[in-house]
Amino acid sequence: MHILILGGAGMVGRKFIERLARDRQLGGKPVDKVTAQDIFPASPPANAPFAFETLTSDLSQPGEAEKLIASRPELIIHLAAVVSGEAEADFDKGYRINLDGTRYLFEAIRQAGDGYKPRVVFTSSVAVFGAPFHDKIEDEFFTTPLTSYGTQKAIGELLLCDYSRRGFFDGVGIRLPTICVRPGKPNKAASGFFSGIIREPLAGQEAILPVPRSVVHTHASPRSAVNFLIHAAGIDGDAVGPRRNLSMPGVAVSVGEQIEALERVAGAEVVKLIREEPDATIWAIVKGWPTRFDAKRSKELGFFAETSFDDIIRAHIEDELGGKIAG
């Protein structure tokens, strides 16, 4: 099996590739080749049992998508995107990358012809939903995004459904909750502080909390994000049905409950490194996001995530800190 990963140098892409290298297969099929595309080179996994290719390109440029699918990969994982805060700050860039790039990819697959029909896994977002919200967002809740990023993802979802309905490819869209705790340096995502208030204190560094502790949000770990991709890659499209986009499960907690979980896992001294500093720009984005989800369809189709925020923190400590906390 040849797998193409768009946005393969990002955090989720790297972890997905590392998992493929460990498992050596996906859905019972041996992985022969992995191609990782991004705007900067992806690092090859250690001891990769498959051919690994890294391509540096901009999917939003005309003609690039055709080059990427020329080798006819059986599975395409579409992670490439400008994150929420950046898409809101730079309108043109957000639409060029998040919408035009996606449509170029879908259209390149359609034009390929000759019976080429790959599985396409499109990573969407809970930002496709907009207020006013129900207490829990059920599978039938309509998409009325209140950010440019959410709008771009919602359009991508509609395109995925239509191109799948027409038989151009076999698509599955997964609406990711906020992935927490993200390793590495902060990015421009408005949701970045959810990870920052855990990641930085665990590393002995100060973290800024820009929103009230009462904010409720749904999270899943990077481990779960990789599991979502793997399950979506092999799921029966007929079982998913015509509604090809699924809200993924996660742990719904308030920011205050995140901090309480951090204290349970790592101690009171770690929590003292969190400094509250309101940011009106971030708050304006975050308050337009949904809080809790009744991800019934995805759970029935076999998707799963953590059941407590304590488990999410422990996963970060095990995977990124070698099981040890700074200090």
pLDDT digits (tens, 9 = 90+) for 223-262: 999 999 999 999 999 999 999 999 999 999 999 999 999 9
Cα 49 from Cα 309, distance rounded (Å): 34
2-176+221-247, CATH topology level: Rossmann fold (3.40.50)
Q: What is the pLDDT of residue 53?
A: 98
- Name the percent of the chain lying above pLDDT 70: 100
Q: Which residues contact 288 (CB under 8 A, 6 or more apart)?
A: 130, 131, 146, 147
What are the pLDDT digits (tens) for 174-198? 999 999 999 988 777 788 999 999 9
Helices and strands (H, E) in the chain, number of each type: 14, 14
Q: What is the pLDDT of residue 157?
A: 98
Spell out the CATH class of 192-217+251-292+302-320. alpha beta
Cα 251 from Cα 198, distance rounded (Å): 15
Spans of all domains in the chain: 2-176+221-247, 192-217+251-292+302-320
Q: What is the pLDDT of residue 161?
A: 98
Q: What is the pTM of this model?
A: 0.94
Q: What is the pLDDT of residue 85?
A: 84
Is a pLDDT exceeding 70 seen at residue 327? Answer: no
- Where in the sequence numbering do the catalytic residues fall? 149
Is a pLDDT exceeding 80 seen at residue 326? Answer: no
